[in-house]
Amino acid sequence: MKKFSSSLIPNRRLSSLSRATTISTEVSNIIHSIDPMEPALEHLVPFLSPEIITSVLQQQPNPYLCFRFFIWSARRKQFRSWSSHNLIINTLTSNNSNNLDLFDVYWRAIEEIGKLGFRISSDAFAVLIAGYWEVKDGEKAVELFGKMKEFDCKPNLFTYNLMLHILVNKGLVLLALAVYNLMLKLNCHLNCATYSILIDGLCKSGKVSDALQLFDEMSQRGIVPSKITYTVVLSGLCQAKRIDDAYRLFENMRSGSGGGSKPDSVTYNALLNGVCKLGRMDEAFVVLKSFKNDGFELDLNSYSSLIDGLFRAKRFKEGHDMYRRMIEADITPDVVLYTIVIRGLCDEGRVHDAFKMIKEMSDRNLVPDTQAYNTLIKGFCDAGLLDEARSLKLEISGVGEFPDASTYTILISGMCRYGLVGDAENIFNEMEKCGCVPSVVTFNTLIDGLCKSGELQKAHLLFYRMEIGRNPSLFLRLTQGSDRVVDSGSLQTLVTKLCESGSTLKAYKLLNQLADTAIMPTITTYNILINGLCKAGRLDGALKLFKELQLKGNSPDSVTYGTLVNGFQSVGREADAFMLLEEMVGNGCKPTPAVYKTLMKWSCRRKKTFAAFNLWLKYLKSLPKRDEKVINLVENYLQNGEIERPVRLLLDMDIKLQDLDSAPYTIWLIGFCQGRKTNEALMLLSILKEYNINLTPPSCVMLISTLCREGKLNLAVEIFLYALEKGFILKPRICNNLIKSLLRSRFVTDDVFALMEKMGSCGYDLDSYLDDGTRFLLNNHRRKQEVQNMLVK
């Protein structure tokens, strides 16, 4: 075995730099001259450091020897460094490898060192796993993770965290959680990064409640959340519209009670972006002011959030002003911000100005991505410029990953919106021929278009083609055996078992294949078809589909129930509608206000206005922050037949909570009119005027009809003048009814003609609006007026 050369003996006279250089040279000589080199290198251990290891790796021209030396050094913690890790990853993923497959070279080095009886460290595997991930080969990375057991190598925390990162980025949160549970069973020492990765994955997959549970578990284990963890949770809370919880968490960081992790610019931007995404722009500027007091300065991300929020809120001028302010501050826009501006211009109707932004991007040496092109194509479609949209798609086809499934879906949606369902079907077929896989949204868009055009049979065929052609359950029957068809619960169990038995790659492939084949009808697909069937009056078909979706493991949502309730209403099946409401509540599905309003309207038509009141009270009781004592008091007043006091109590409560919805009050007003309870209707009208609540066109129609029937024509005219002032164009029937009632009464004829003149000035086309009966009465009054004028003369 080679002895130390005299140059390696420590010499205090030599500078540390000279000594390091000498040792590096000696190590390089040994690596080149001895094979296997491990025994000789063992003598150098006392003189080596992470810096020398990295230096030797940089000098080594032979990839095989470079990898071998790294694998040797990775066995000792004192030699490990991020610089050497990154150096090997860069070497693996380098294009300057003379066509060598460096991954195979590295793997050969591992195998040969293993055969010599030397232990392979987890870090040596971690670098290769990271290399595979760098070149987007997740399957190889997971396969290598599974092979570590063959070398009697237990993954360390870094390797586990690397795997969690890979799985979360691939969208396989289920498998990431299975790996996490395995880590717990093996008593692996978890750290903040472990939880941050998992919480991020759960938030991005919409499982914010699960993410918060994991956040609590992290604290219970005594692990202090980092800024990254807090930022991930903040973003998740904002995404789930739990902005108050986000504020509380942010204030914990701000005050220092968050374990010392003070917010940084990323945290500030996460909260600002969340508020902007919710459309609460006035609040966003208040928040921004408080941020500035903390020393926060606007950067590209901040400007992007604010401009995006302003455009979404239709505050276009402010959005453009903000963009100009950013340019003046010498902040250069990126592709993301350009896409935001393109969308804003399209929403504003300035599609051709949006198109110019693509050229401006090129002038700034920015390459528009698929998202930018898709945003512009959507703008063309929304503006009805369908030919331009298709031309743009043809013109830039083959640029990067364009067109993708979103491009085709946007075009299909545009065609369907303008009734060109045949063209939409052609685009769908073209998409499949090009090998672009339709997404669930693509199927839903075309099915919706077919339903709206009355082509229910075609919609059904597409639905079953979607279900049978790419069915995960069918896939599982073929791959797992007919006795192991799984739902989401048993799939989770299966993935966990595979992971614990070391078959991580099998679980990975299973979930990936499911993701590739999972163009399953979603609850949205079912809702579209059920709605189409209900509108066509085919309630039995809608109910059959409703039962079918539950048998296949889907859960009906509030839209499903609301659609069916509307369907039952249209055919007069009152008992079925109310039974469906009870089932909905019993299944834990919270009915939307729309469901209650539908049933309230129905009750009012059947002259059950007080039943309509009780329905709304039932809804209010299901809401947070509602004063139950007030609601109980309202119920007592209603039971005694009172109207004024309960309505005032409800209005005061709504105004106090800043959650005033005028719809139920309008429904009750119309209900009183339908039930011929004119006094109650006028009382309610008086209260609504007092609280400055505007009437709707339907409520004006009902009031005018009721007042005409009751002979209260002055009030009827007053309501009609209100409708004219608000710009409502009421249907000819109600206008003719009012004019005839006025002409048949003792109403002054000149006033009737003055009212008609006002109607003309407000946009009514009297030539087409007046029917023959009204014209006859008007002519009679004109003749009588002429006779009276002649007699006076």
d(CA 606, CA 554): 35
Q: Which of these, 421, 333, 410, 423, lies nearest to 379 by C-alpha position?
A: 410
Contact of 661 with 654, CB cutoff 8 Å: yes
Check residue 474 and give its pLDDT: 42
> Is there a domain that residue 204 lies in?
no
Instruction: Say which amino acid occupies 618.
Output: K
Q: Which of 323-337, 571-585, 661-675 has the lowest mean pLDDT?
A: 571-585
63-68 mean pLDDT = 81
Cα within 13 Å of Cα(149), Cβ side: 10
Query: Which pLDDT score is estimated for 151?
Result: 86
User: What region, left, alpha or beta, does residue 78 occupy, with left being phi > 0 and alpha being psi -120 to 50 degrees?
Assistant: alpha
Q: Domain ends where: 98, 133, 154?
A: 154
**Domain assignment present for 673:** no
pLDDT digits (tens, 9 = 90+) for 302-340: 999 999 999 999 999 999 999 999 999 999 999 999 999
Least confident residue range of 244-248, 459-463, 498-502: 498-502
Q: Domain end: 436, 469, 502, which one?
A: 469
Calpha distance 271→244 (Å, rounded): 11
**Tally of CB atoms within 10 A around 674:** 19
Run of H or E residues at 783: helix 772-792
CB 66 within 8 A of CB 91: yes
Question: What is the length of the chain?
Answer: 793
- Which tokens go with 647? 């309505």
Residue 767 counted as domain residue: yes
Q: In this predicted structure, what is the pLDDT of residue 479?
A: 44
Span 498-505, average pLDDT: 81
Among 120, 154, 188, the domain boundary falls at: 154
On whether residue 704 sits in a domain, the answer given is: no
- Model pTM? 0.71
- Whether residue 547 has pLDDT greater than 90: no
Asked if residue 382 has pLDDT above 50, the reply is: yes
Q: In 3-state terms, what secondary structure has residue 763? A: coil
Cα dihedral across residues 179, 182, 188, 189: positive or negative: positive
Distance CA 263, CA 246 (A): 13
Residue 20, pLDDT above cutoff 50: yes
User: What is d(CA 151, CA 71) in angstroms, rounded to the nearest whole number?
Assistant: 13
In a domain, 14, yes or no: yes
Domain that holds residue 80: 1-154
Domain presence at residue 612: no
User: What's 454's DSSP letter?
Assistant: T
- Look at residue 320 and tell me if it is in a domain: no
**Within 434-573, where are the H helices?**
440-452, 456-469, 472-480, 488-500, 504-517, 523-535, 539-551, 558-570
What is the mean predicted confidence (pLDDT) over 500-523? 74
How many domains, in total, are found in the chain? 3
Average pLDDT value over all residues in the chain: 84
Kindly state whether residue 148 falls inside one of the protein's structural domains.
Answer: yes
The answer to whether residues 224 and 252 touch, using CB atoms and an 8 Å cutoff, is no
358 and 392 Cβ atoms separated by less than 8 Å: no
pLDDT digits (tens, 9 = 90+) for 213-249: 999 899 888 888 888 888 888 888 888 888 888 888 8
Q: Which of 32-41, 46-55, 323-332, 706-715 has the lowest mean pLDDT?
A: 32-41
Structure tokens at 68: 């071998």
| CA-to-CA dists, residue 178 to 136, 163, 184, angstroms | 22, 11, 10
pLDDT (tens digit, 9 = 90+) per residue, 728-776?
A: 888 899 999 999 998 888 777 678 888 888 888 888 888 888 888 888 8
